[in-house]
Homo-oligomer: A and B are copies of this chain.
Amino acid sequence: MAKDAKPTINDVARLAGVSKKTVSRVINKSPLLNDATRSKVEAVIAEIGYVPNPQARALALRRNFLIGLIHDNPNAQMVLGVQEGILETIRDTEFALVVRPVDRHSPQLLDDIRHFIEQQRLFGVMLLPPISENDELADMCRKLGCTVVRMGSAALDKSEHLVASNDRQAVADAVFWLSELGHRRIGFIAGPQGFRSARERELGFADGMARAGLTIDPALMERGTYRFESGLAAGDRLLAVDPPPTAIFSSNDEMAAGFLHRALDKGLKVPGQISIIGFDNTATAAHIWPPLTTVQWPIKAMARAAAHKLIDPLEAASQPSIFLSDLIRRSSADAPSA
């Protein structure tokens, strides 16, 4: 091999006194190999620091060692957390992570993604919510010979292809905790229709109220868009109800922040007069005043598990697929003042 060229499979074969194919078998952990041959080859590999060329493998196998992360911007922290989690898993493997933000309302969504997968010959893709809820998309990826793992807030798929948080239970637990603190009039700000996460959190709210033996007052049920402004609007309405709620569960932090602003605008004491719980644990949650109590997905652990399912489909079923979320207790929720 030339001085600065990287060693190839031919160098290894020559130095080990075997054929290329034998080296190839070692690399690919073929079972039918003499142990002595294997160790001899492995020794040479270690000695000269040989690393298989992923481009050549990609060409020969017609499959690239790339994992695609496809998402429509759920929230920045989540996306970055997922990227870091995937990377922790694929570090020291030949895989790399390629990202693909998309617009889920684009009419060419499927064509774009198909082209992306075909062109890059992706090994697998990870779908983030909310587009992970698109069954047609998942099917298409599979037809393209791509392993798929979906992340979501409920069991969207078989466990080999899924990592999900149990939003329903997390919300139920949080609401029940509010009842234990002494809250009786608990309101809810739902997410937009059509989002699975929104649906699960609604069900969780109902579960929690039922478990606490509380009845749901329709006047305290609002629906938002997951955006800050809709939290403001929900605040306008909820805080005008008589008698007022003493606690609100918001289906995400952004709306919770909006609601909180309205509560402070109206001079309410938080959490004395009104407690607030959000969902997501975004950076904002920790930086608003008072700091927001919120539900947090174990994003990185989920992403690590998802990456395992992706690069090692045989082990996929043994990786956990349902993850429990934590309630991060800060100052925005406490017992109602007497």
Contact = CB atoms under 8 A, between A and B. Distances in A.
Interface of A: 6, 51, 53-56, 58-59, 62, 64, 66, 73, 75-77, 79-80, 83-84, 87, 94, 96-101, 116, 118-121, 228, 254, 257-258, 260-261, 264, 282-284, 286-289
A264 B284 contact: no
Given A99-B97, A284-B283, A286-B228, A119 B51 contact: yes
A122 B118 CA distance: 20
A50 to B, nearest CB: 12
Contacts of A99: 83, 87, 97-99
Nearest to A63: B55
Contact of A284 (B6, B80, B121, B287): B287
A16 B99 CA distance: 36
Contacts of A55: 55, 58-59, 62, 64, 121
A295 B95 CA distance: 38
A260 B288 CA distance: 10
Nearest to A289: B261
Contacts of A261: 289
A335 to B, nearest CB: 22
Contacts of A56: 59
A264 B289 contact: yes
Top 5 closest A-B pairs, CB basis?
Answer: A76-B76, A55-B58, A257-B287, A55-B59, A284-B284
B73 A101 contact: no
Contact of A87 (B76, B97, B101): B101
12 contacts: A53-B59, A54-B121, A55-B59, A66-B98, A76-B79, A76-B80, A87-B99, A98-B99, A254-B283, A257-B287, A261-B289, A284-B288
A286 B228 CA distance: 9
Contacts of A58: 55, 58-59
